[in-house]
Amino acid sequence: MADKSWKAFEKLNHRIMRLIHAGATVEWNGALVDPDTGVKRQIDVLITSIDGKRSSVECREHSEAQSVKWIEELIGRKLSLQLDGMIAVSFNGFSAPAAKKAARFGIALYDFDRLTDAEIASWGSIAHVESDFVQFTHLEILACIPDNAKARLQPGDPTFARGIRDGFAAVQDALRDLVVAQPNTYLQHALDPTDFTIDGIPVMSLVCRFRGQVVTQTATCTYAALVDTPGTARMLRTIGIQRFDHFVGEVVQRDEEAHLQIDVSSVQPPDNSILHEMRVQFPQPVHVTHYELVGNRRIFAHADRIALNVFTVA
């Protein structure tokens, strides 16, 4: 299940703060003990510096600019919890009185400047995301089992496995480099049958006849925003967020460092295919400091050109 909007916004700001505060401990949904009541108090994002100083990041994804009232609440929260710093993040910015009050009491502010579709298309900092699939236009698997085990075969389609893994996926994985090296060519290749089974029966030999091609899918950037202190001109904003329609759920970039979030569950692979390679290319040199996999990590592709033929030998 996808996170609720407010929770997803908090987690996004957790990723942003990890890039801004490199070396510090940055914790989403943290907690501090109230020095007056002894009760734990929830913190959206808690930052603890190397020297032990603690700052709270409070996040709001509301449809309107945040008022001075929220800033006053955060000033009181900072004093009550004896925090060293307080950061307020508002998706839609702050009113002028709120910004003045925050400046007087040392509350750091961040807001979001979202790009339109037209601006995304012309923005020179968008990453280029591609994924290569090896698609089998023909795959025949010839599997040999002992003749005396034939009676153990189950009626209907047999269960083909390699250990606990699906056998068809294991075969495609073993053959994909050969397809990349010789696309659109009929090939025959013998695989090591170790750990392959059919209905639990060990396979004695495994030969594959196949032909395939490489299919490349290019992801489209569907969302981009720039984050910085309110009033910062777009060209001077140092934090960028990009989201794509498949594979790369999110890129959070600050200068030459980036956090990459991969969402395999968003992928729609071609029929009869297996993922071969995924590429994320940035316009400028970037060091990916954090990498995160989210969602279901399995990719399911419809298959109608893969056949398993079982034969026996005495």
Residues 66 and 176 occupy one common structural domain: no
Residues 25 and 153 occupy one common structural domain: no
Residues 119 and 108 occupy one common structural domain: no
Residues 170 and 216 occupy one common structural domain: yes
Neighbours of 76 (CB within 10 A): 11
How many structural domains is the chain composed of? 2
pLDDT at 171: 96
Residues 153 and 274 occupy one common structural domain: yes
Answer whether 306's CB lies under 8 Å from 272's CB: yes
Name the residue type at position 143. A
Last residue of a domain, one of 113, 147, 178: 113
pTM of the full predicted structure?
Answer: 0.84
Last residue of a domain, one of 63, 79, 113: 113
Question: 71 — phi, psi (to 5°)?
Answer: -60, -40
b/e for 88-124, b at 16 or more Cβ within 10 A? bbbbebbbeebbebbeeeebebbbbbebeeeebeebe
Residues 101 and 234 occupy one common structural domain: no
Last residue of a domain, one of 113, 143, 177: 113
Residues 86 and 126 occupy one common structural domain: no
Q: What phi-psi label fits residue 106: left (phi over 0), alpha (psi between -120 and 50 degrees) or beta? A: left
Answer whether 250's CB lies under 8 Å from 264's CB: no
Residues 101 and 120 occupy one common structural domain: no
Residues 154 and 52 occupy one common structural domain: no
Supply the range of the domain harboring residue 220: 115-314
Residues 142 and 12 occupy one common structural domain: no
Check residue 66 and report its DSSP letter.
Answer: B
pLDDT at 86: 98
Residue 222: partners with Cβ closer than 8 Å, 6 or more residues away: 243, 244, 245
CA distances (Å), origin 158, targets 143, 155, 161, 167: 12, 7, 10, 11
Residues 210 and 89 occupy one common structural domain: no
pLDDT at 2: 55
Low-confidence stretches of the chain (pLDDT < 50) are 1
Residues 102 and 122 occupy one common structural domain: no
* Structural tokens at position 202: 């060990």
pLDDT at 118: 94
